[in-house]
Chain A
Amino acid sequence: MNKNEEQAAFTKLGELNQRRQEEINAAAATDLPKTYPMNELVKALHPATQYLKVTEIIDHGPDAKSFVFAPDKDKGTTKLATFQPGQYISLRLHIGDSYVTRPYAIRSTPLQAKEGKYVLTMKLVNGGFVTPYIWKNWQVGTTVAASGPAGELFYEPLRDGKNIVAIAGGSGITPFYSMAQAILENTLDVNLTILYGSRRHDNILLGDELQGIAEQTNRVKLVNVLSDEEVPGFEHGFISKDLIEKYAPAADYSIFISGPSVMYQFVMKEVAQLHLAPGRVRHELNGNTAAPDQFAGYPAEAKGKTFSMTVITRDQSKTIPAAANESLLIALERAGIIAPSMCRSGICSACRSQVLDGHTFTPTEFDHRRAADREFGYVNTCVAYPTSDLTLKVPVHDYANQFG
């Protein structure tokens, strides 16, 4: 570069800066936008919190109820987020001194959500913590906070075949009920075969309603499987490989499973014999156990003990008991700490916390952590069990009131 070139380059650089100053001087000094279309779309599609109000309670026999919700406009929720049939919302409840979450698959459809209606169907768990509280306290007008829709148990056109074989037990039917009704409403383009396990023919949760849907569309087939009795017109026994093959379409299909742990453990063994391509078997919400010692790799000496857990939340710390057979999350909830959580089955990682000291056990079946989280000592508290005294750093939420 000769002197002239150098001089010319410096002049250009001066001009560039001059131009910058001119552009700035010419710009408006008006206030900047507070929001943008994509950020508004987030509020509609993925709200962090939805405030709901019970508008109707439907009894299904002695031990099941449906709760119909509308948006709680007093708390600022004006619309309900749409969702994929099969997804859940996680309710946030304040019971006694505890703040707990419970995920429930939405039993209603996206079309109903658009009209301001979610329906959740629950089974009473005797001796449980949450459902007895709900049975006792909830009435029309009760308000509750919930997460936005979440979960991965839904039909994904880029991945799944057009045929879904749904295997359900008990209240695990709810995601498939939503799918069935969405098919009827023409918002879900799949063929659904539901293999539905119940104990007795007179105790099938939402059985009549499902039958009603199946009678209106040939894209939904319902097969009731009774474990405790033999009744003409119903299958008998458990949902086995043979039974799946009997009803599954000949063409390419995916299996979706939703139900209690016991059923899941059984069904998975049967499904394995079908040798479907990986990814063609999907399940969700099975991550809770009160017997971590039943899983491979559990350190036997920890069984039956209660450990001391020091919990660090931002700049506070507190020491609480943590029983070996309960998840870290339950220990936090028992101690009244507002710990984050959502799916409670080790998948969503909302409860991700840092173990600073001590040991925990996560059953391999429920361990969906990121590799680096395993490497650096983070756990999902909902599926991690204490196996020694420990120190846990929990990222408690500060914003909104997570619990309404």
Chain B
Amino acid sequence: MAKNYDVIVVGAGNGGLVAAATACKLGKKTLLIERHNLPGGAASSFVRGRFEFETALHELAAYGPKEKPQGIRQMFNWLGVDLAMHEIPGAYRYIITGKDGFDVALPNGREAVIDKIEEVVPGSRAGVSKLFDYGEECIKGYDLLQAGKLLQEVAKLAPAFVKYATVPYDQVLAELNIPLKARQILEAYWCYIGIPSDTFEFPYFAEMLVTYVENGAYAPTNRSHEITTALVHAIQANGGDVWFNTEVKRVLTQDGQAVGVQVGNDQIYGRQVICDLVPNTVYAKMIDPAVVPEHTLKLTNARQLGTSGYLVYLGLNKSPEELGIKDYSVFISSTGDSRTQYERMNTLDQNDFMIMNCLNIAVPGCSPAGTSLLYATQLYRDGSWDQVTAENYDEVKDKIARRVIKQYEDATGIKISDAVEEVAIATPETFARYMRTPNGDIYGYYGKKWGQTIARMANLDKEAQPIPHLYFCGGSSFMMDGYSSAYFTGFTIGKMACAALDKEGVKNE
């Protein structure tokens, strides 16, 4: 029985899938183990009646068109994953319903966005143009860092990255004399990472904004499940094994090093073990506490779990045209202040930041003719659902759904509540159920000031193997949450683990 692997990956989330696909692409004998019967973690789909709903993806970034492939498309090409993807039209529409509110639909493309913001908030042009220059430099900065360049060199080639590395996004926008309203419009993406703009490190936010606006965003034809299933096939095509419905109970250690995993009563040995799990789960339940270094335990205690999600999935029996829906992505709140929006994410009754997506706008034909597929998303901070019990769960869940649907109807004037053919709701409990993350966390770790991408990446070499031969990828790894980030961590960590094997191999010869 084959029970020895070069690389064992635990967890088939986006990060784990790519880590495993990378390892077997590099010729390593690889095993990917997943507890659930589907790949993807939150990146999945489910069928209700005539609809197949997208569980999680809003916009896949860093993909790019075929003729100008960005990082993720290049990675997928290398892995042998070739899917028909749809470019999402427009960036986002942002509606603030309260005092000093606005309703702005941002297009794609740098100049179009600058023009639009100038039109809505005269006097913004110079600042916003500069912001885009900086954002382009920040993209370059991350690329240079990933390529192993030193900060001195980054400072020369991408000065804005270094200059604003520790400055909050909102502060830079203020320094650029971008008027408040325009700042708020340009801060909507904070929700994709869950850090308010007064704390969010500038380079990452600017990189994200410019990546979305200039390179566009993508969605697969058949929901996230198509990407994850294609990745499973890429693994199998390169000789890797994938086991579903299989729970790793323990990470096995010997002499303080990870040497494999326990599945049921079987011990499977692996020279490298990569976990696409929240490290808290591993340290609390899956490994001998004696081998966890004090520094690692302290780091894990010092961090804060990220947010969880709440989604209402709606299959409507009218087409987007009949309903009057034109936008793929609409962000709605009563206030444009991201700090207030973030603070309210701590409460069940005050949280009024929501996103409504209509998938048909990006992927025509994603639901039958004459129907539309919508999903509303809210984020809730760790702990905000702790008081919900089995007794009041349904009531809380339904109440928020009604509120979110009404908020969308009031903000847009589009009536959807009388066209519901199918509905399903996901809460932090749902994410805890399917992903088994602590408290249903979907965003990995919250980005405290000292724990966002720059600090994480700067410490990657030191922290990548908290225990020899044990690595982590995915949302809790060295980047923040999101599909592209999870893929990148899987790719980087997968390569790192393989490189270490190659080095050992040379040593042994």
Q: Are these two chains actual partners, yes or no?
A: yes
Q: Give the complex CA separation of A34 and B295 in angstroms.
A: 19
Q: Which residues of the partner chain A approach B415 to less than 8 Å between Cβ atoms?
A: none
- CB-contacts of B385-422 with A (<8 A): 385-390, 393, 398, 401-402, 405, 417, 420-422
The chain B residue sitting closest to A16, CB to CB, is B166
Q: Give the complex CA separation of A389 and B246 in angstroms.
A: 27
Provide the B198-232 mask, 1 if CB < 8 A to any CB of A, else 0.
Answer: 00000000000000000000000111011001101
Contacting pair A39 B432 (CB below 8 A): yes
Q: Give the complex CA separation of A29 and B294 in angstroms.
A: 6
Shortest distance between the CB of B273 and any CB in chain A (Å): 18
A27 beta carbon closer than 8 Å to chain B: yes
Partner of A25, one of B289, B298, B315: B298
Q: Give the complex CA separation of A277 and B371 in angstroms.
A: 12
Q: Give the complex CA separation of A279 and B458 in angstroms.
A: 53
Partner of A395, one of B1, B162, B244, B280: B244
A246 beta carbon closer than 8 Å to chain B: no
B327 beta carbon closer than 8 Å to chain A: no
Shortest distance between the CB of A79 and any CB in chain B (Å): 9
Taking A32-B280, A398-B247 as contacts, is the C-beta distance between A375 and B226 under 8 angstroms? yes
- CB-contacts of B444-486 with A (<8 A): 448-451, 454-455, 458-459
B48 beta carbon closer than 8 Å to chain A: yes
A211 beta carbon closer than 8 Å to chain B: no
Contacting pair A29 B317 (CB below 8 A): no
Segment with Cβ contacts to A, from B13-21, B98-106, B333-341, B435-443: B435-443
Q: Which residues of the partner chain A approach B165 to less than 8 Å between Cβ atoms?
A: 9, 12-13, 16
Q: Give the complex CA separation of A396 and B246 in angstroms.
A: 8
Q: Which residues of the partner chain A approach B166 to less than 8 Å between Cβ atoms?
A: 9, 12-13, 15-16
Provide the A5-32 mask, 1 if CB < 8 A to any CB of B, else 0.
Answer: 1100110110111011001111111111
B500 beta carbon closer than 8 Å to chain A: no
Q: Give the complex CA separation of A356 and B98 in angstroms.
A: 56
Segment with Cβ contacts to B, from A66-74, A95-103, A156-164: A156-164
A1 beta carbon closer than 8 Å to chain B: yes
B506 beta carbon closer than 8 Å to chain A: no
B35 beta carbon closer than 8 Å to chain A: yes
Q: Which residues of the partner chain A approach B38 to less than 8 Å between Cβ atoms?
A: 349, 352
Partner of A398, one of B160, B232, B264, B448: B264
Specify which of A23, A39, A279, A399 lies most central, judged by the most chain B CB atoms within 10 Å of its CB: A279
Q: Which residues of the partner chain B approach A41 to less than 8 Å between Cβ atoms?
A: 388-390, 393, 429, 432
Taking A370-B47, A373-B225 as contacts, is the C-beta distance between A350 and B37 under 8 angstroms? yes
Q: Give the complex CA separation of A211 and B283 in angstroms.
A: 57
Q: Give the complex CA separation of A382 and B405 in angstroms.
A: 37
Taking A6-B162, A370-B52 as contacts, is the C-beta distance between A24 and B226 under 8 angstroms? no
B284 beta carbon closer than 8 Å to chain A: yes
Q: Give the complex CA separation of A91 and B259 in angstroms.
A: 38
Contacting pair B289 A371 (CB below 8 A): no
Q: Give the complex CA separation of A42 and B163 in angstroms.
A: 46
Q: Which residues of the partner chain B approach A278 to less than 8 Å between Cβ atoms?
A: 49-50, 317, 371, 421
Partner of B48, one of A9, A37, A44, A152: A152
Q: How many chain A residues touch the partner (CB < 8 A)?
A: 63
B301 beta carbon closer than 8 Å to chain A: yes
A82 beta carbon closer than 8 Å to chain B: yes
Contacting pair B315 A279 (CB below 8 A): yes
Q: Which residues of the partner chain B approach A32 to less than 8 Å between Cβ atoms?
A: 280, 283-284, 297, 300-301
Partner of B2, one of A23, A24, A315, A350: A315
Q: Give the complex CA separation of A369 and B38 in angstroms.
A: 12
Partner of B454, one of A16, A25, A349: A16
Q: Which residues of the partner chain A approach B421 to less than 8 Å between Cβ atoms?
A: 159, 277-279
Contacting pair B155 A314 (CB below 8 A): no
Shortest distance between the CB of B109 and any CB in chain A (Å): 28
A199 beta carbon closer than 8 Å to chain B: no
Contacting pair B455 A399 (CB below 8 A): no
A129 beta carbon closer than 8 Å to chain B: no
Partner of A368, one of B47, B280, B295: B47
Taking A29-B301, A36-B438, A152-B48 as contacts, is the C-beta distance between A395 and B246 under 8 angstroms? yes
Contacting pair A38 B432 (CB below 8 A): yes
A340 beta carbon closer than 8 Å to chain B: yes
A397 beta carbon closer than 8 Å to chain B: yes
Contacting pair B49 A1 (CB below 8 A): no
Partner of B298, one of A6, A29, A44, A375: A29
B146 beta carbon closer than 8 Å to chain A: no
Q: Which residues of the partner chain A approach B160 to less than 8 Å between Cβ atoms?
A: 1
Contacting pair A372 B302 (CB below 8 A): no
The chain A residue sitting closest to B83, CB to CB, is A372
Shortest distance between the CB of B191 and any CB in chain A (Å): 20
The chain A residue sitting closest to B314, CB to CB, is A158
- CB-contacts of A276-290 with B (<8 A): 277-279
B243 beta carbon closer than 8 Å to chain A: yes
A268 beta carbon closer than 8 Å to chain B: no
Q: Which residues of the partner chain B approach A398 to less than 8 Å between Cβ atoms?
A: 245-247, 263-264
- CB-contacts of A370-404 with B (<8 A): 370-373, 375-376, 378, 395-399
Shortest distance between the CB of B446 and any CB in chain A (Å): 13
Partner of A34, one of B3, B285, B302, B436: B285
Q: Which residues of the partner chain A approach B300 to less than 8 Å between Cβ atoms?
A: 32
Partner of B226, one of A16, A33, A42, A372: A372
Partner of A159, one of B233, B283, B422, B431: B422
A45 beta carbon closer than 8 Å to chain B: yes
Contacting pair A1 B155 (CB below 8 A): yes
Q: Give the complex CA separation of A15 and B448 in angstroms.
A: 14
Shortest distance between the CB of B255 and any CB in chain A (Å): 22
Q: Which residues of the partner chain B approach A6 to less than 8 Å between Cβ atoms?
A: 155, 159, 162-163
Q: Which residues of the partner chain B approach A371 to less than 8 Å between Cβ atoms?
A: 52, 221-223, 225-226
Q: Give the complex CA separation of A307 and B37 in angstroms.
A: 26
Taking A13-B151, A33-B438, A39-B436 as contacts, is the C-beta distance between A26 and B243 under 8 angstroms? no
B320 beta carbon closer than 8 Å to chain A: no
Specify which of A15, A158, A396 lies most central, judged by the most chain B CB atoms within 10 Å of its CB: A158
B147 beta carbon closer than 8 Å to chain A: no
Q: Give the complex CA separation of A399 and B308 in angstroms.
A: 26
Taking A13-B165, A17-B459, A279-B317 as contacts, is the C-beta distance between A395 and B245 under 8 angstroms? yes
Contacting pair A26 B302 (CB below 8 A): yes
Provide the B152-186 mask, 1 if CB < 8 A to any CB of A, else 0.
Answer: 00010001101111100000000000000000000
Taking A20-B459, A370-B223, A398-B264 as contacts, is the C-beta distance between A10 and B162 under 8 angstroms? yes
The chain A residue sitting closest to B317, CB to CB, is A278
Shortest distance between the CB of B249 and any CB in chain A (Å): 8
Shortest distance between the CB of A356 and any CB in chain B (Å): 9
B45 beta carbon closer than 8 Å to chain A: yes
Q: Give the complex CA separation of A30 and B300 in angstroms.
A: 10
B326 beta carbon closer than 8 Å to chain A: no
Q: Give the complex CA separation of A5 and B162 in angstroms.
A: 10
Q: Which residues of the partner chain B approach A375 to less than 8 Å between Cβ atoms?
A: 222, 226, 229
Shortest distance between the CB of A276 and any CB in chain B (Å): 11
Q: Which residues of the partner chain B approach A27 to less than 8 Å between Cβ atoms?
A: 298-299, 301-302
Q: Which residues of the partner chain B approach A372 to less than 8 Å between Cβ atoms?
A: 45, 222-223, 225-226, 229-230
Interface residues of chain A, those whose CB is within 8 Å of chain B, are: 1, 5-6, 9-10, 12-13, 15-17, 19-20, 23-34, 36-39, 41-42, 44-46, 82, 152, 156-159, 277-279, 314-315, 340, 347, 349-350, 352, 368-373, 375-376, 378, 395-399
8 interchain residue pairs of minimum CB distance: A279-B421, A27-B302, A395-B244, A372-B226, A1-B159, A371-B222, A38-B432, A20-B450
Other than the given A6-B163, A27-B301, A399-B35, 4 more pairs (CB < 8 A) read: A32-B297, A38-B385, A279-B49, A370-B225
Supply 28 A–B pairs (Cβ within 8 Å), ascending by A.
A9-B162, A9-B164, A9-B166, A12-B166, A15-B166, A16-B166, A16-B455, A24-B302, A25-B298, A29-B298, A33-B438, A38-B431, A39-B440, A45-B393, A45-B429, A158-B420, A159-B420, A278-B49, A278-B371, A278-B421, A279-B422, A347-B47, A352-B37, A352-B38, A371-B223, A376-B233, A397-B245, A397-B246
